[in-house]
């Protein structure tokens, strides 16, 4: 499965209007996922235009920071016709060895109907 690397945009004092114009949506391909460079202040915005809910699985390569030694991924169900803003992601738990967070996408029927973009805030 190929993973699509997202360019991370920044929300500044101009807010979401700036964000909307500076970072476009990237469509998934087949059953691909997404990854983005994470600084601990980064969120991912998933929009689902598929005909049913999709599942976004956030990879957790490091042990849980809530007192557990278990490594467990997080699943987020995004209903069709909706969009979710997910994150931010704690670097110690979610970053891989190269500083990326990886999210796998499981579509209902059509992965190309699911799009994403990543954004970080200088205010978090």
- Per-residue model confidence as pLDDT tens digits over 5-61: 998 887 766 655 545 555 678 888 776 799 999 999 999 999 999 999 999 999 998
Residue 104: per-residue pLDDT? 92
| Closest among 35, 41, 11 to 23, alpha carbons compared | 11
State the sign of the Cα–Cα–Cα–Cα dihedral 24, 47, 4, 99: positive
CATH of the domain at 92: 2.60.290
In terms of residue numbers, what domain contains 43? 3-121
Total domains, the chain: 1
Choose between 22 and 121: higher pLDDT.
Answer: 121
Residue 49: per-residue pLDDT? 92
Q: Cα–Cα distances in Å, from 75 out to 22, 58, 78, 103, 109? A: 28, 6, 10, 9, 18
Peptide bond connecting 107 to the previous residue in cis, omega within 30 degrees of 0 = no
Residue 101: per-residue pLDDT? 97
Residue 58: per-residue pLDDT? 95
pLDDT of residue 1 exceeding 60: no
Residue 68: per-residue pLDDT? 62
- Per-residue model confidence as pLDDT tens digits over 66-102: 666 667 889 999 999 999 999 999 999 899 999 999 9
Residue 119: per-residue pLDDT? 87
Helix (H, G, I), strand (E, B) or coil at 84: strand
């Amino acid at each position: 499965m190929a993973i699509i690397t997202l360019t991370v945009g920044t929300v500044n004092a101009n807010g979401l209007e700036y964000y909307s114009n500076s970072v476009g949506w990237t469509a998934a391909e087949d059953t691909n996922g997404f990854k983005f460079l994470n600084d601990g202040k980064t969120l991912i915005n998933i929009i689902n235009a598929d005909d049913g809910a999709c599942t976004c699985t956030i990879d957790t390569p490091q042990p849980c920071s809530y007192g557990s030694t278990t490594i467990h991924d997080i699943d987020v169900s995004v209903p069709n016709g909706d969009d979710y803003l997910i994150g931010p992601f704690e670097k110690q738990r979610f970053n891989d060895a190269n500083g990326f967070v990886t999210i796998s996408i499981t579509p209902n029927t059509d992965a190309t109907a699911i799009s994403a973009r990543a954004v970080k805030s200088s205010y978090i």
